[in-house]
Structure formats: structure tokens, C-alpha cells
Amino acid sequence: MTASNPIPAVPFALDARQQAARNWFESLRDRICAEFEAIEREAGSDARFDYTAWDREAEGQAPGEGANNQGGGGVRGVMKGKVFEKVGVNISTVGGEFAPGFAQTIHGAADNPAFFATGISLVAHMANPHVPAVHMNTRYLVTTKSWFGGGADLNPPLPHAEDTEHFHGVLKAACDAHDPDYHARFKAWADEYFFIPHRGVHRGVGGIFYDHLECADDAAFDAHFAFTRAVGDAFLNAFPPIVRRRMEDAWSEADYRTMLEWRGRYAEFNLVHDRGTLFGLKTGGNIDAILMSLPPMASWS
């Protein structure tokens, strides 16, 4: 563990697009972690993020997982404090080849399994049941095609209409500034994606989810990269105000039990249905970073 903010070691050359995306995700990590630590200071806590760097080349893939384990890696940041019971913020930049079977499931990789991926992913589980858990990730992938994807969604054990409206409103403003059709499309996509079929319930109150914003030329890259940066900025405008509004709210033992039950639902979704979990496992990612989304405590009745 280290108190500094390391960056992943990447032993291969990046082109200008890849480097620009990587730089953004790493800078966004720094801003988010600083804001979350500031909230802990406001609550009288000295909790800070601990960072663990991991090396994909060193950890590798299981035999047969990929013919060319080119390498790269990431940094897992975790904080456990008074407000954030457990929050993980991960960055990674990796490249190599997908396993043949998995390549068939990835956009643009069916005929050529080579890939590059860089991104940020975070999940926060909160100490107060009135403060919603949250997920956010944005990423840039390159196969025979290149594209941006990501999103953010709110997961309150005890929903408050004011918080839900604020979260959706900030995301809508970010979407509307880039394309008037984005919010309706990506909100519906989030509602469809963040659903637990075996429970018949949504994981939370939604947000936005988008994928395959293809970068066929520089103009498309610039537009989709600008939107992805807007999503990151919107997250910082949407979530911290909700935390500050709710983190001192009184809660009961019944509220806490409700939170543990909904954390169980969150764990079920991430282990059974989440595509990001599978992607990390199939590309030689760090197990602790992949599973940092799991809550510190949960319950099943």
C-alpha cells in the first residue's frame, strides 16, 4: 500500500488517442479521490485512500486465456472511513489478445483478438443507509474498431426523491449538451442493463449506460471523448452533494438491515450479470480490483 497516487506501468507504446484517454481517466481518479477524502475530513475522519499497483504482465492470464499477454496494469485505490464504509476507485491500461472464445463476444474482435483498454471504475458503499451506494465507470477500447463506453448509476437502500431527481438531472444536462437524444437513450439502456432478472428488480434507481460510441475518425473521437469527459465531470457534480446532504441523517436498525439486503442484491448483480466483472476476469485483471465492487457486509434472508 502507498499513500501516493501511482500510475499503471504500461510497457508498450500508446498512440495519441490512447494516451489522451489514459491521461483523462487518471486525472479523473485523482479528482474523485480528493473529493471523497475531503468529505471524510468534513465528517471528522482522517481516512485516506490506499493505492495498490498491479501488473498484468506479472500476474498474467491462465494458460490458454490469450496468445499475446502484452501487459499493462492498473492501480486499485480503496478507502474505508466514517462516511465511505468502503469505496474503491480503479484505473487500468492494458493490452494483449482476448481468448478466442471471449473475442467472439467483444465488439470488433471476432476476426482479430488484439485489444487495448484504458478506463476508470468506482463503486462506493456508504456507512449511512440514507446515503446511496454509487457506481461509475468510463472506458476507451480498441480492437479492429475503437469506442467509448461507460455510465453511472445510483443505488440507494432508502431512496429519496430529491436525491434521485438531482442525480438524473445532472446526468441529463451533461447528455443534452452533446446530443438531445442521449439521455433518453442512455437512461433506458441503464434501466435495462441494471436489472436483476432472477429477483425481478432493478439494482437501484438508475442513471445512464452507454457503449460502442465508435471513433471512426478524429472528429468522432473528439466528440465521444468530450462526452465521456462530461460524464466524469457530471458524476462529481451529482454524487458528492447527495453524500453531504445525507451523511448525518439519523437511521435505525431496520434501515441498516434494509441496506444490507440491498447490498446483497448489488453483489448478486455484479457476480452474475455484470459485463465489466467478466471482462476483467477474462483479460488477466487484478482479482482484488475486479471484486472491489463487492460490499464489505451484506445479508440474505
- Tell me: the pLDDT tens digits for 255-296? 999 999 999 999 999 899 888 888 888 777 788 888 888 999
Q: Which residues pair with 91 in a beta bridge?
A: 75, 120
118 falls within a domain? yes
Domain count for the chain, please give it.
1
Kindly list the catalytic residues: 135
Task: Kindly state the percentage of the chain with pLDDT values over 90.
Answer: 79
DSSP class per residue in 185-197: HHHHHHHHHSEET
Determine the pLDDT at residue 71. 83
Helix (H, G, I), strand (E, B) or coil at 276: helix
User: Confidence class of residue 57 from pLDDT cuts 50, 70 and 90?
Assistant: low
User: Which of residues 59 and 92 earns the better pLDDT score?
Assistant: 92
Give the integer Cα–Cα distance in Å for 246 and 36: 14
Q: What is the CATH number of the domain that holds 104?
A: 3.40.1500.10
88 falls within a domain? yes
Selection from 73, 89, 95 nearest residue 18 by Cα:
95
Domain carrying residue 258: 16-293
7 falls within a domain? no
Identify whether the C-beta of residue 118 lies closer than 8 Å to the C-beta of residue 18: yes
User: Which of residues 184 and 1 earns the better pLDDT score?
Assistant: 184
Give the integer Cα–Cα distance in Å for 9 and 6: 9
Question: Does 58 have pLDDT greater than 60?
Answer: no
300 falls within a domain? no
User: Confidence class of residue 64 from pLDDT cuts 50, 70 and 90?
Assistant: very low
3 falls within a domain? no
8 falls within a domain? no
6 falls within a domain? no
Give the integer Cα–Cα distance in Å for 137 and 156: 18
2 falls within a domain? no
Determine the pLDDT at residue 286. 82
Give the integer Cα–Cα distance in Å for 292 and 136: 13
Element (H, E) at 150: strand 146-155
Selection from 245, 105, 94 nearest residue 166 by Cα:
245
Question: Does 29 have pLDDT greater than 60?
Answer: yes
99 exposed, middle or buried (CB, 10 Å; 0-12, 13-18, 19+)?
middle
Identify whether the C-beta of residue 92 lies closer than 8 Å to the C-beta of residue 8: yes
